[in-house]
Structure 1
Amino acid sequence: MKQQGLMQATIYASAILAGTLWCASIAWADTASSSEAPPSKPVGQAPAEQSRPPAIETLISTTGVLTPAGKFVIEPFIQYTHSSSSIAAVQGFVLAQVLAIGNINIQQYTNDTAYAGVTFRYGVSNRLEMDLRVPFVYAQQNTAVSNLTNNGVQQAFNSTGSGLGDIELSMHYQINKGGNGSPYYIANLQVKSMTGSSPFSMPTYQSYPAGILEQQPTGTGFWGVQPSLTVLYPSDPAVFYGNVSYLWNIGHNAAGTYISPGNAIGFGFGAGLSLNDRASISLGYNQSIVSAPKVGGITPPLATTLEVGSFLVGWSYTLNKSTSINLNLAVGATRQAPDVQLTLRVPYTL
């Protein structure tokens, strides 16, 4: 099972990486010719009034540069996440087996997850964009536990899982005209599906340690709806940004018990700096406060509110008018946050 999952994940990642490199190779081939193109405006012509947000990535996953009307963007991406948080592990296990696990003490926990997929973007108008994100997931978890009722004997467990993740649909709308010293306001709405495998459908150990998964899920097992508001304020050559959001994880019945996974309030801020007409860097911080889950209307004893904060840094390079390369790094600032998350995206405009 483990070898089969690893093979599937390798195929997914290879296919996405091939598409990413293909887009980049096309862009590099066009870079030289596009850089030699004559200016499109006569020398001395006054610049047009800016009514769209500046083309600098904000490091906020819910929004970026809005796609112009009628344009279609294909964005292959690869993402790697490593985390090791015993508190998050406890909360996850409580939800996964629905019952509290008072006889298990988690001593060590590591989780490595790789995502490979494609995001499709379409500019419905100059102010409205629709996104569809299709991820494929490979997850591996290593857990060391001690049986509190068996003289603290420690055991190690390893599990993997791969397949289609939770597909996401997003909408971004530029509320105001902005520009000329005024900020841009962008409203976002993201809906996450349950297309990935659920933790509640995964096989678990029936004897000790009961509740620990034998196979890793590729989804969260819940629908999620996240409205948010992003503010962009240009101050040449930088762009300052901020974002506030609320994530509603929709609870449902599992194993005959109603489970609410907990909702989250999030905020983020940062700045993007344009180095030249092609390259930019961004720095930021993002944090989510996730409420404790409830099982049957009661908060399990081991569950707690999670503080998930990360420092962000990003690099962006525009190859030509249709293609850019974006590399983002997130480093955990709180105990419950992933230790590191690395994301490579190559948006290609058709």
Structure 2
Amino acid sequence: MGDITTLTRKRASIASVFFVPVALGAATLAQGQVSSDDEVVREAKPSRSVENVLREEHALFSDRLTLEPGINYSYSDRSQLALRGFLALDAIFLGEINVDNVKSHITTLDLSTRYGLTDRLELGLNIPVVYRSSTYRSTGVESGPELSELTTDDGGLGDISASLSYRLLPETQSRPDVVINLGVRAPTGTDPYGIATREDPTNTNLVVPTELPTGNGVWAVTTGASLLKTLDPAIVFTNLGYTYNIEESFDDISASEGKQSGKVDLGDSIRAGFGTAFALNERLSLSLSYSHEYIKKSKTTRGGETNKVIGSDANVGVFSLGGTYAMSDKTSIVTSLGMGLTDDASDISLTFRMPFQP
């Protein structure tokens, strides 16, 4: 798309990858002797606070089913936009939008399920429902004194994802616990392609989309590795991940009148991060973390011509404060407050989750 000049670089992101040293203490971990083959033997079950940290940041490999309903709210405020394309929820909206300021609110309700088939294999499934609301503001033509605004909101099913985690190597005195994972994301949400625009009748300088997407519109495959090492009195682990978006054809990828078919190849992404968490007692833990995601440029193909979308690459950095509290042996509360440290990240993100094992 040669006429695309600028693209907002906002990816709600975030992938959750961390490098986390967790101050836990030998009594909390309840780690026992070392066997003859040098493998770490845990004689007692970890505390609930430790289990919560492992479940959220690594993999617990529990032989019990875990249901985890959650809610996430993110807010971003972008100013001085003059767009010919629009990036929303990891996808490209192809249209002509002229705004000076955009305030976006995204609320996601989701249900995650996890089940450890063995002490080495864990399955996961996530089903999200997304509600989005964006308010667009602009001054009059030629930057006149009049200020007008329009609001667009939409909601519906998001992109469903499934994952498989496998413990490749168990932890020993000399090596970390090594887990590899593989995931698939299906385009079950509303895609952002071919969405029409509307113009403010009192301000021709304000052009906004008529609806907002709830998904990316393409299939994606994710892979990664997680390493965990017990260093009394701490647990240290690091995660790396990569997402490959599969190129997809659409009947319409333009907001102009009439259908304009084409292909969209969303940019792949690389994720990494680090942080620390502290198990304060048997039930309560606190954490600090930083995650970073680099997103490559996207491409569009129309009429046999392929063009990179200028400005579609992004760096998403988020610093998070989190905590977990075990209400009982079956139910916990997980909270996280994320603060965007780069221009492409949401300004703020707040998450509440409640994993429980029936």
Q: Does 1:324 align with 2:329?
A: no
Q: Which string of whole-angstrom CA distances, capped at 9 and with x for unpartnered residues, describes residues 28-47 of structure 1? A: xxxxxxxxxxxxxxxxx979
More helix by share: 1
1:171 aligned partner: 164
| CA distance 1:300–1:140, shift in 2 (3 Å) | same
2:42 aligned partner: 50
Q: Does 1:124 align with 2:124?
A: no
Give aligned-pair identity as a percent.
Answer: 27
Root-mean-square deviation (CA), in Å? 3.0
Picking from 57, 68, 82, the partner of 2:62 is 68
Q: Give distance in 1, aligned partners of 2:243 and 2:53.
A: 22
2:142 aligned partner: 151
* Structure 1 residue ranges without an equivalent (≥5): 1-44
1:289 aligned partner: 294
| CA distance 1:226–1:219, shift in 2 (3 Å) | same
Q: Does 1:227 align with 2:227?
A: no
Tell me, yes or no, if the aligned pair for 2:59 and 2:165 is still in contact at 8 Å: no
Q: Give distance in 2, aligned partners of 1:247 and 1:88.
A: 28
Q: Give distance in 2, aligned partners of 1:342 and 1:82.
A: 9
Tell me, yes or no, if the aligned pair for 2:98 and 2:205 is still in contact at 8 Å: no
**Structure with greater contact order relative to length (CA < 8 Å, sep ≥ 6):** 2
Q: Which string of whole-angstrom CA distances, capped at 9 and with x for unpartnered residues, describes residues 225-261 of structure 1? A: 1111112222234322221111112221232111112
User: 1:84 is paired with a residue of what secondary structure?
Assistant: strand
1:249 aligned partner: 245
Q: How does 1:330-341 map to 2 (within 5 A)?
A: 330-341=338-349
Q: Does 1:268 align with 2:262?
A: no
Structure 1: which amino acid aligns with 2:42?
Q
TM-score under structure 2 normalisation? 0.74
Aligned length: 297
1:161 aligned partner: 154
TM-score under structure 1 normalisation? 0.75
Q: Does 1:315 align with 2:323?
A: yes
Shift of 1:330: 1.0
Q: How does 1:338-349 map to 2 (within 5 A)?
A: 338-349=346-357
Tell me, yes or no, if the aligned pair for 2:79 and 2:100 is still in contact at 8 Å: yes
User: 2:215 is paired with a residue of what secondary structure?
Assistant: coil
Structure 1: which amino acid aligns with 2:265?
S
Q: Does 1:298 align with 2:307?
A: yes
Structure 1: which amino acid aligns with 2:41?
E
Picking from 209, 212, 215, the partner of 1:216 is 212
| CA distance 1:168–1:270, shift in 2 (3 Å) | same
Tell me, yes or no, if the aligned pair for 1:113 and 1:137 is still in contact at 8 Å: yes
Picking from 100, 111, 135, the partner of 1:142 is 135
* Structure 2 residue ranges without an equivalent (≥5): 1-31, 35-39, 253-260
Q: Give distance in 2, aligned partners of 1:249 and 1:85.
A: 26
Structure 1: which amino acid aligns with 2:187?
M
